[in-house]
Amino acid sequence: MTASRSPAVATAPLLTLRGVRKSFGATQALKGVNLDLVPGQVHALIGENGAGKSTLMKVLSGAHAADAGEMTLEGRPYRPEGPLHARSLGVCMIYQELALAGHLSVMENILLGIEPTRGPLLNWREMGAVSRRALDEVGLERIDPAALVEDLSLAEQQLIEIARAVAFGCKVLVLDEPTSSLTQKDVRNLFALVNRLKAKGVAVVYISHALEEVEELCQAFTVMRDGETVGHGVVGEVPVSKIIAMMVGRDVSDLYPRSIRTAGEPIVELTALAGAKFPRNASLTLHRGEVVGIAGLIGAGRTETLRALFGLDAVTGGTIRIHGQPTAPAGPGVRWSQGIGLVSEDRKTEGLAQNLSIAENLTLSKLEGLGPWRFVRPSRQRAAAEPWIKAFPIKCQSGDQPIEALSGGNQQKVAIARLLHHDCDVLLLDEPTRGIDVGSKAQIYAWIDKLALGDPATGKPPKAVLVVSSYLPELLGICDRIAVMSRGTLGEAKPVADWSEHSLMLAAVGQS
Amino acid sequence: MSASSPAPSPSSSVATASPSGSITGNRLLQFAGRLAALAAVYLFFAFLTPEGKGFTSDANTQLMLQDIAVVAMAAIGMTIIIISGGIDLAAGSIIALAMITTAWVLNLDHNGVKLVTTHPQLLSLAAIAAAVLVASTVGLINGMLVTGLRLVPFIVTLGTMQMARGLAKMVSNEQNIYPPSVVQDLWISRVLDPARTLHTFPFLPPAVWLVIVAATLAALFLRYTRLGRHIFAVGSNEKTAILCGVPVVRTKIAVYVIGGFFAGLAGVIFFARLGSIGQPTEAIGFELFVIAAAVIGGASLLGGRGTILGTMIGALIITILRNGGVKMGWPQYVQEMVMGAVIIIAVAIDNLRNRRRT
ipTM field: 0.80
Contact A397 B22 (CB under 8 A): yes
- Half-sphere exposure (Cβ direction) of A73: Cα atoms closer than 13 Å: 16
Contact B1 A344 (CB under 8 A): no
Contact A364 B236 (CB under 8 A): no
* pLDDT tops 80 at residue B171: yes
Mean pLDDT over B339-353 rounds to 83
Cβ of B24 under 8 Å from any chain A Cβ? yes
What pLDDT is attached to residue B269?
A: 96
pLDDT tens for each residue of B206-242:
999 999 999 999 999 999 999 999 999 999 999 999 9
Contact B2 A335 (CB under 8 A): no
Cα B80 to Cα B89: distance, rounded to the nearest angstrom: 14
Of A379, A345, A337, A336, the closest CA to residue A359 belongs to A379
* pLDDT tops 60 at residue B3: no
Cβ of B227 under 8 Å from any chain A Cβ? yes
H/E segment holding residue B170: helix B153-171
> How confident is residue B139, by pLDDT bands cut at 50, 70 and 90?
very high
What pLDDT is attached to residue B5?
A: 40
What pLDDT is attached to residue B23?
A: 60
Length of chain A: 512
What pLDDT is attached to residue A512?
A: 61
Contact A332 B244 (CB under 8 A): yes
* pLDDT tops 50 at residue B277: yes
Asked if residues B265 and B79 have their Cβ atoms less than 8 Å apart, the reply is no
**A389: which residues sit within 8 A by CB, 6+ positions away?**
A358, A396, A399, A417, B12, B16
What pLDDT is attached to residue A253?
A: 56
What pLDDT is attached to residue A283?
A: 96
What pLDDT is attached to residue A138?
A: 81
* pLDDT tops 50 at residue B358: no
**pTM for the full predicted model:** 0.77
Which of A312, A360, A376 faces B242 most closely, judged by CB atoms?
A: A312
DSSP A307-322: HHHHTSS-EEEEEEEE
pLDDT tens for each residue of B309-327:
999 999 999 999 999 999 9
Higher pLDDT, B355 or B151: B151
What pLDDT is attached to residue B316?
A: 96
**Beta partners for residue A466, in sequence order:** A292, A428
- Which range among A167-171, B93-97, B171-175 shows the weakest confidence by mean pLDDT? A167-171
For residue A334, the chain B residue with the least C-alpha distance is B245
Mean per-residue pLDDT of chain B: 88
Which residues in B lie closer than 8 A to residue A332 (C-beta atoms)? 242-245
What pLDDT is attached to residue A150?
A: 86
CA–CA distances in Å: residue B73 to residues A26, A489, B214: 44, 57, 8
pLDDT tens for each residue of B111-132:
888 998 899 999 999 999 999 9
Of A213, A214, A217, the closest CA to residue A193 belongs to A217
How many CB atoms within 10 Å of residue A408?
A: 18
**A143: which residues sit within 8 A by CB, 6+ positions away?**
A106, A135, A152, A156, A160
> How confident is residue B18, by pLDDT bands cut at 50, 70 and 90?
very low
Cβ of B15 under 8 Å from any chain A Cβ? yes
Cα B123 to Cα B105: distance, rounded to the nearest angstrom: 7
What pLDDT is attached to residue A11?
A: 66
Averaged over successive runs of 10 residues, the pLDDT of chain A (512 residues) comes to 44 88 80 91 84 86 89 91 87 83 87 83 88 86 88 85 85 87 81 90 87 88 88 87 76 75 93 94 96 91 95 95 94 96 93 94 94 92 95 90 89 96 96 86 93 87 95 91 94 94 86 66
Cβ of B16 under 8 Å from any chain A Cβ? yes
Contact B23 A337 (CB under 8 A): no
Distance from the first to the final alpha carbon of chain B: 35
C-alpha angle with apex A42: A38 to A44, nearest 5 degrees?
105
> How confident is residue B22, by pLDDT bands cut at 50, 70 and 90?
low
What pLDDT is attached to residue B155?
A: 96
What pLDDT is attached to residue B53?
A: 79
